[in-house]
A = this chain, B = another copy of it.
Amino acid sequence: MTGPLKVALLGCGTVGSAVLRVLQGQADELGARIGRPVEVAGVAVRRPAHHPDVPAHLLTTDAHALVTRDDVDLVVEVIGGIEPARSLMLAAFEAGKSVVSANKALLADDGVALHAAAAKAGVDLHYEAAVAGAIPILRPLRESLVGDQLSRIVGIVNGTTNYILSRMAETGAGFGEALAEATELGYAEADPTADVDGFDAAAKAAILASLAFHTPVSAADVHREGISTVTATDVARAAEIGCTVKLLAICERVPGEDGDSVAVRVHPAMIPTSHPLASVGGAFNAVFVEAEAAGQLMFYGQGAGGEPTASAVLGDLVAVARNRMTGAPGPGVTGYANLAVRPMAETPTRYHVSLDVADKPGVLAAVAQEFATHDVSISTVRQTGRGDAATLVIVTHSAPDAALSATISALREMPAVRGVTSVLRVEGLS
């Protein structure tokens, strides 16, 4: 091979234009690191007129023609969404070209088939930018920790919801008010559904779990709850027990009598303020990893934005370019363990429950009996107030999620319970 390695860039939004800027501005440095010059062969966009900064001769609307061009060596996909990204990626593989992607939705939806297509073609598929922006986490899972047995990943992987929850804690605002502020400041999209309802975090959780447990996990396997139901009361109650509310992506290996399974879930939870994830504020991301030999690890950094995401894309680009030079793709992703995905109902969790009750003798006993009936053990109970305003705050031990949610339903029906004012899962309490 002679001459420069040529890169096809698919998409030129915030991330794509940052990638283009670095690829052109740092071309000499990147070439030295790869061992061969690298240049942009073309940029596929839908509306060329919207990209006056991109040299006109590079722009094309025919993405398919670009990825299959003979002189293109590598493809960077930053279009996002399922189609046409998926078809373009498959066309690239068929044409023998490695792909770097930032597409969490696609990888979480169809990662197994895409990896199989890349392996069949003998090319690379990397997507570090798809999870936690600039933070190197997928390569550490795929390679650095591949000799260890991972037990648990807990991540704050969505900056928008983390910003909203941080503001709720700081100002006492409700969800709606904090969301409005986030939208105004540009931290939330005009349609915030993907973020606030947890779809974005669930896609990332699926990707993390797949790599960590050598098991195919798709977005559909992830139990998903967003933050729109988190109230100012929940946030205040969390503070009272030394906790803070975060939207967590949790991937666990759960031992069972008939073999281990994996539980993958995204939901808001109270975590102790002393937990390393508790101080991850604003738009930052962090991923906490527990492994048998390595113990506890944490990875922290910027989870979104054009430049940080471009850093991850370009790291992958140099890696796949180097592999292109040696003629051998790097290691793929293994799914050999193929562990069962445990339904949320059977996943062990802990609940925090706050109840308004009549302050009469026997109420606590009746409430406690309801937990016992569902085989849920109580960790702590705190009673505040007197008379009409009496409040019971209960934190349970770990129990199957279905038993906990059945307990809550039963409590709502109890005459002595005037209202269930806050229900939230608790993570990381000893």
- A150: min CB distance to chain B, Å: 10
Contact B319 A307 (CB under 8 A): no
Contact B148 A315 (CB under 8 A): yes
Contact B134 A295 (CB under 8 A): yes
Which residues of A in the span 102-149 have a Cβ within 8 Å of any Cβ on B? Answer: 128, 134-136, 139-140, 143-149
Contact B145 A311 (CB under 8 A): yes
Interfacial chain B residues near A298, Cβ < 8 Å:
298-301
Q: How far is the CA of A33 from the CA of B337 in the complex (A)?
A: 9
Main SS class of interface, A = mixed
Contact A319 B149 (CB under 8 A): no
Contact A147 B329 (CB under 8 A): no
- A24: min CB distance to chain B, Å: 13
Interfacial chain B residues near A291, Cβ < 8 Å:
134, 311
Q: Name the CB-closest residue of B to A31.
A: B336
Q: How far is the CA of A406 from the CA of B33 in the complex (A)?
A: 41
Which residues of A in the span 243-272 have a Cβ within 8 Å of any Cβ on B? Answer: none
Q: Name the CB-closest residue of B to A136.
A: B144
Digitize A258-292: 1 where CB-to-B-CB distance is under 8 Å, 0 elsewhere: 00000000000000000010000000000000011
Query: Which of B139, B146, B315 sits near A147, CB closer than 8 Å?
Result: B315
Query: Which of B26, B143, B301, B331 sits near A295, CB closer than 8 Å?
Result: B301
Interfacial chain B residues near A59, Cβ < 8 Å:
none
Contact A331 B319 (CB under 8 A): yes
Q: How far is the CA of A307 from the CA of B295 in the complex (A)?
A: 8
Interfacial chain B residues near A326, Cβ < 8 Å:
328-329, 331
- Sort chain A's interface into a size bin: 35 or more
Query: Which of B32, B144, B145, B292 sits near A214, CB closer than 8 Å?
Result: B32
Interfacial chain B residues near A327, Cβ < 8 Å:
328
Interfacial chain B residues near A33, Cβ < 8 Å:
146-147, 214, 334, 336
Contact B295 A147 (CB under 8 A): no
Q: How far is the CA of A90 from the CA of B157 in the complex (A)?
A: 44
Interfacial chain B residues near A323, Cβ < 8 Å:
328
Q: How far is the CA of A125 from the CA of B349 in the complex (A)?
A: 43
Interfacial chain B residues near A423, Cβ < 8 Å:
none
Q: Name the CB-closest residue of B to A145.
A: B315
Q: How far is the CA of A294 from the CA of B134 in the complex (A)?
A: 5
Q: Is A302 an interface residue (CB 8 A)?
A: yes
Q: Is A297 an interface residue (CB 8 A)?
A: yes
Query: Which of B300, B317, B328, B334 sits near A297, CB closer than 8 Å?
Result: B300
Digitize A326-349: 1 where CB-to-B-CB distance is under 8 Å, 0 elsewhere: 111111001011000000000000
Some 22 contacts from A to B, beta carbons below 8 A apart, are A18-B293, A29-B337, A30-B147, A32-B337, A33-B334, A136-B140, A136-B297, A140-B140, A140-B144, A145-B315, A146-B318, A147-B310, A148-B311, A148-B314, A291-B311, A295-B308, A296-B301, A297-B300, A298-B298, A298-B300, A326-B329, A326-B331
Lowest 7 CB-CB distances: which A-B pairs, in order? A147-B314, A136-B144, A328-B328, A134-B294, A294-B311, A297-B301, A293-B311
